[in-house]
Amino acid sequence: MPASPLDPAFIRDLDQDLTSTSTATVQVVAPFSGRMLHELPLSSKADVEGAFARARFAQLAWARAGFAHRRAILLRAHDILLERRERLLDVVQSETGKTRGQAFEEVFQALSVTRYNALAARRVLAGRRRRSGVPMVVTTRIHYRPKGVAGIITPWNYPLSLAAMDAVAALAAGCGVVQKADNQGALSILALRRAFIDAGVPANLWAVVAGDGDEIGGAVTAEADYICFTGSTATGTKVALQAARTLTGVSLELGGKNPLIVLDDADPVKAAMDATYACFSSLGQLCVSIERIFVERGVAPAFLREFQAATARLKMGGGFDYSADVGSLTTQAQLDRVSAHVSDAIAKGATVLTGGRARPDLGPLFFEPTVLSGVTPDMECFGAETFGPVVSVTVVDSEHEAILAANDSEFGLNASVMSGSAQRAARVAVALEAGSVNINEGYRGSFSSVDAPMGGVKQSGLGRRNGPEGLLRFVEVVTISRATGVLSLPRFGSDFARLAGPLLLLAGVLKAVRRR
């Protein structure tokens, strides 16, 4: 497999941006080749504490600088990201093993998120008037105050875009950031951060740390004024429990077992092509990736034929160009999990329609996109998230049965509906228990809609990123009321006796004119 195109001096330069006073390092492996990519410095608990102290100091000036100052810097960072896009693609591919095209999705998302938050922050977070309890006597406004320094814990699978979704919104809201990077995705985050520092973000305002999850991640959670976590439900639950001890707010994007419904009026060819990308983009290592397909019986033969063929045609490869359709898994642990899920399903009676095996001839972590039928509840891949290139297909007799089967999960992150009728698809979409639903697309419609909230229900998380909701996470709402002096509010019994009648009359007038 080709070696990473990243220059060792460039990697060492990025590594120096990580907050670490320790001499300890960890080897990070390039997924395509299995060779060492770099030795990542590790942070200590003291490094985390120091990073928060410096970020808090820098955050005071950043918040006071105002929206226009922050907007100008974030827009400058957007332009730098655009200029450095090819290098960013190299970094993302080198760390994750995804294709050039799927790395491009990350860069494009980072650009969109940066532009959106730069332009939307003032509109969303500007103070505004609210109706007071006694009009003219009292005025009331709400003010948004940045929470302080956000702790952001980011996974390895989409390091660039997921980091941007949280960190840029925090910066736009006037917060500082201390970000715990997964070892496997640290270079992507450091390259993203470098663009913002070069654009004018103070270096101390956005720190990146790395190391053991329990120690370093726990230290980030303990110090933060707000926590953003993306990862597994098991780890996210631990983060939420730790944050609850100090009543620190959290947003959690966690696991998924995302369903796709193919209704019998769908175009089987188009549905199969869209489903193929929805299942196997980034080799299924995506929180919103499809892992369960329910297809109505009337279209099942045609859809299955096209879906198997489209999956089998996918070109696997590890080139740093656009020649491959799917790339590699990212870590040995991922390969072990995917292999175990497929082996377990086969041993318990599932049928492999296509794929089903590792491809060491292509590289150490390649695994064929795999379609299974006959998956039953006793199989690991039935309800547990595989987080890899494995999807089960089940034929159902009605859209009602499909909805019930899709909702029969502890997760509720993303879902998809394929149909030839917009009205019918919308009816099914609103019945699905998921934070986002895509019609005639797998995940990219909602994932790319940065003005709309993204998150999960049930065991898939709490809170939302993106859109106004993503900005509002990082601020405290302060209500400021002022007595105008037009009339003094009652203080003593005699005051109430005198003013009760006029106040009741005012209540009646407000009702009559339909004022809240």
| Choice among 95, 105, 106, 253 that is catalytic | 253
Q: Is residue 24 part of a domain?
A: no
- On the 0-12 / 13-18 / 19+ scale of CB atoms within 10 A, 354 is middle
Question: Is 253 one of the catalytic residues?
Answer: yes
Residue 118: domain span: 44-254+467-475
Does the pLDDT of residue 178 top 60, yes or no? yes
Residue 515 reports pLDDT greater than 70 = no
Calpha distance 170→502 (Å, rounded): 47
pLDDT at 516 over 70: no
Q: Is 294 helix (H, G, I), strand (E, B) or coil?
A: strand
Q: Which own/partner pairs from 394-397 qualify as long-range (CB within 8 Å, at least 24 positions apart)?
A: 394/292, 394/293, 394/294, 394/295, 395/294, 395/295, 395/296, 395/297, 395/300, 396/294, 396/295, 396/296, 396/297, 397/296, 397/297
Of 87, 103, 450, the residue nearest 282 (C-alpha): 103
E strands, 201-323, are 206-210, 226-230, 249-253, 258-262, 290-296
**pLDDT score, position 3:** 75
Which of 175, 228, 287, 381 is an active site residue? 287
**Is residue 235 within 8 Å of residue 121, measured between CB atoms?**
no
State how far the Cα of 379 lies from the Cα of 184, in Å rounded to an integer: 30
381 contacts 256 by C-beta, under 8 angstroms:
no
Q: Which residue has the higher pLDDT, 3 or 86?
A: 86
How large is the average pLDDT for residues 332-345? 98
Residues in the chain: 516
CATH of the domain at 140: 3.40.605.10
pLDDT at 133: 85
Q: Is residue 480 part of a domain?
A: no
Q: What is the dihedral of CA 77, 79, 83, 84, to 10 degrees?
A: 20
The DSSP output letter for 274 is: H
Average pLDDT over residues 188-215: 97
CB 181 within 8 A of CB 158: no
**pLDDT score of 313 more than 80:** yes
Q: Looking at residue 1, what is its pLDDT?
A: 60
Across 420-443, average pLDDT: 98
**pLDDT score recorded for residue 502:** 86
Query: What's the pLDDT at 173?
Result: 98
482 within a domain of the structure (yes/no)? no
Distances (CA, A) of 105 to 101, 144, 224, 365: 7, 32, 30, 22
Inter-residue contact 315 to 418 (CB < 8 Å): no
Inside any domain, residue 376? yes
DSSP states of 336-382: HHHHHHHHHHHHTT-EEEE--SB-TTT-TT-B--EEEES--TTSHHH
**Paired tokens of 441:** 């697309």
The mean per-residue pLDDT over the stretch 44-71 comes to: 98
pLDDT tens-digit map of 8-57: 999 999 999 999 998 999 999 999 999 999 999 999 999 999 999 999 99
pTM for the model stands at 0.96
Residues 363 and 310 in one domain: yes
Instruction: Report pLDDT digits (tens) over 113-162.
Output: 999 999 999 999 999 999 888 888 999 999 999 999 999 999 999 999 99
Q: Give the pair of three-digit tokens for residue 370.
A: 């795999």
Q: Could you tell me if 270 and 162 lie in one domain?
A: no
C-alpha to C-alpha distance for 217 and 198, rounded to whole angstroms: 27
2 pLDDT more than 90: no
Asked whether the beta carbons of 127 and 144 are under 8 A apart, the reply is yes
Work out the pLDDT band at 511, boundaries 50, 70, 90: confident
pLDDT given for residue 512 in this prediction: 86
On whether residue 481 sits in a domain, the answer given is no
Q: What is the DSSP string of 5-73?
A: ---HHHHHHHHTTS------EEEEE-TTT-SEEEEEE---HHHHHHHHHHHHHHHHHHHHH-HHHHHHH
Instruction: Quote helix, strand, coil % in the chain, to nearest 5.
Output: 45, 20, 35
Domain identity same for 246 and 190: yes
Say yes or no to pLDDT of 191 above 80. Answer: yes
With a cut of 70, say whether residue 184 has pLDDT above it.
Answer: yes
23 Rama sector, left if φ>0, alpha if ψ -120 to 50, beta otherwise: alpha
Overall average pLDDT of the 370-386 stretch: 98
Element at 234 (helix H, strand E)? helix 233-245
C-beta of residue 136 within 8 angstroms of C-beta of residue 486 = yes
Cβ 165 vs Cβ 171: under 8 Å: no
| CA–CA separation, 30 and 485 (whole Å) | 69
Transcribe 114-142 into DSSP letters: HHHHHHHHHHHHS-EEE--SSTTTEEEEE
**Is 459 part of a structural domain of the chain?**
no
CATH number at residue 388: 3.40.309.10
Residue 136, pLDDT score: 86
Residues 306 and 244 in one domain: no
One-letter amino acid at 424 equals R
Q: Which of 62, 178, 169, 55 is nearest to 112 (CA)?
A: 169
Do 330 and 232 sit in the same domain of this protein?
no
Residues 356, 272 share a domain: yes
Q: Report residue 509's pLDDT band, with 50, 70 and 90 as the boundaries.
A: confident
What is the arithmetic mean of pLDDT over 344-354?
A: 98
Residue type, 282: S
Q: Categorize the per-residue pLDDT at 373 as very low, low, confident or very high, splitting at 50, 70 and 90.
A: very high
* 433/357 same-domain check: yes
Whether pLDDT at 278 is above 80: yes
**Domain count within the chain:** 3
Same domain, 236 and 322: no
| pLDDT-above-70 percentage for the chain | 99
Q: Is residue 23 part of a domain?
A: no
Same domain, 262 and 355: yes
Percent of the chain with pLDDT over 90: 93
What sign results for the dihedral spanned by CA atoms 351, 355, 358, 361? positive
- The predicted model gives 254-262 an average pLDDT of 98
Cα separation, 274 vs 271, in Å, equals 5
Helix, strand or coil for residue 261?
A: strand
Write out pLDDT tens, residues 445-465.
999 999 999 999 999 999 999
The pLDDT assigned to 487 comes to 85
Instruction: Please indicate, yes or no, if residue 35 is contained in any of the structural domains.
Output: no
Same domain, 200 and 73: yes
Q: Are 235 and 324 contained in the same domain?
A: no
Strand 36-41 to 25-29 pairing: antiparallel
Whether residue 266 sits in one domain with residue 220: no
pLDDT of 194 reads 98
